Amino acid sequence: MAAGELTIDQKIKYVQDTLFVISGKWKLPILMAINSGNNRFRDIQRALPGITTRVLSKELKDLEENRLLKRTVYNASPATVDYTVTTYCRNLKPLVDEMIKWGENHRAELKKEA
């Protein structure tokens, strides 16, 4: 098999890995919110109507563990915390772009024969 080629089983495995990392309602939206300039906990929450502090807190931790974002604490008073996406996180852009395109198109598709 030529280099770079994968078996269907490997492909399925990698897709499942990816699904696992970005799974859930909020992970990608959180990254998108941060990436578009919302770097503080409160800002992120405001940018994502419906998310609770508990969920946001947990998701931020997961994303940090997967090296998709970085958490920086500033010991000012009141203490502030900054979240920024990592360079590694930017690898997700093509994927996210595809999801935006597909989601947009899918909405149109479902309308067709509603």
Q: Which residues bind DNA (CB under 7 A)?
A: 23-26, 40-43, 50-55, 57-60, 71, 78-81, 83
**What does the alpha-carbon distance between residue 96 and residue 100 come to, in Å, rounded to a whole number?**
6
Judged by beta carbon distances under 5 to 8 A according to partner kind, the member of DNA, a second copy, none in contact with residue 84 is: none
Q: Which of 1, 2, 8, 79: binder of a second copy (CB under 8 A)?
A: 8
Nearer to DNA, 2 or 110 (CB): 110
What are the percentages of helix, strand and coil residues in the chain, rounded to 5?
60, 10, 30
**3-class state of residue 87 by DSSP:** coil
